[in-house]
Amino acid sequence: MVNSTTISYFILNAYSDIKLLKYLLFMIIMFFYILIVCSNVLLIVVICMNRSLHEPMYMFLCSLFANELYGSTGFFPSLMIQILSDSHTVSKYFCLLQIFCVYSYAGVEFFNLAIMCYDRYLSICYPLQYNTRMTFNKVAILIAIAWLSPLFMVVGTTSLSASLQLCGNTINKVYCDNYSIVKLACFDTSVNNVYGLLVSLTSVIITLILILYTYIRILKVCFSGSKQTRQKAVSTCTPHLAALLNFSFGCVFEVSQCRFNMSSVPGVFSIFLSVYHLTCQPLLNPLLYGLKMTKIRNICKSLFYREG
């Protein structure tokens, strides 16, 4: 047992399974990170620099891409350093900072996807009133809510974890995880567990109700509407639905890693499951929206294939 007063760092124990593959994994992770940064920055620049894209849907996309950069930067650089390192230790304060970044990224992602779903609902169900309902001020307020709400929630989570007295410092993951730290506590963690449950239920239930309600209304309009309405719904909702399902599956994998005994799962595969939502989502979103959204696709083409 480690005395709680002496803990100033944590050991990330999951790296013990990848020693022989560390250089290969480093190259793969670095390639993914460069791809994530370049693709998301490109789409943010395209949206910001083209006035034809200064519409609510693209502003929400810009917020989504900015969050991918935020979450990736809070995760990938540390991951690459740890892969090449021999000690696999992180300071307590850096660990708490990474928890804040990763958890707030997940919260902002979920809120962004819910708001984008609401935007598509207004566009498809109330096309003639869309511009009056989705004003610039409303867009700004929704984006502010999507960012500030998760940030405030995660501040409480990390503050409670920072005040815990710990009797261990080994985390069986490749990055810092709040639940792993709570499990190391010497004393009762009921407050942390109740707060974490309330935050999760509040944020997830609110967003899920909004998402389910809007998709039910969209489907209702599609079944009773014209062929053109159905085509519009499919073209605008397909990328969003794919992103939502991908992120949800990633979160389910992460919760499974934390809550259940996964000792029978091979180490490398277990690591992949734990970082799925931090890797595949930032890679998938630019691909989905960059290729599916006609305006974005055409502008990107014009940047790379200018006629002489």
Nearest to 198 by CA among 253, 156, 246, 166: 156
Residue 1 pLDDT:
45
Residue 304 pLDDT:
66
265 three-class SS: coil
**Using an 8 Å Cβ cutoff, are 113 and 172 in contact?**
no
CA distance 110 to 208: 9
Residue 264 pLDDT:
59
pLDDT digit string (tens) for 116-128? 989 988 888 888 8
The partner residues of 185 in beta bridges, in order of sequence, read 166
CA distances from residue 79 to 25, 51, 73, 221, 275 in whole angstroms, order as listed: 10, 37, 10, 46, 10
Residue 268 pLDDT:
63
pLDDT digit string (tens) for 231-287? 777 777 778 888 888 888 877 777 766 666 555 555 566 677 777 888 888 988 888
CA distance 257 to 166: 21
Residue 231 pLDDT:
76
Residue 37 pLDDT:
94
Residue 2 pLDDT:
47
Enumerate the domain spans of the chain: 4-301
Q: What is the DSSP string of 71-104?
A: HHHTTHHHHHHHHH-SS-EEEHHHHHHHHHHHHH
Give pLDDT < 50 ranges for the chain.
1-4, 307-308
- 42: how many CB neighbours lie within 10 A of its CB? 17
- 142: how many CB neighbours lie within 10 A of its CB? 22
CATH class of 4-301: mainly alpha
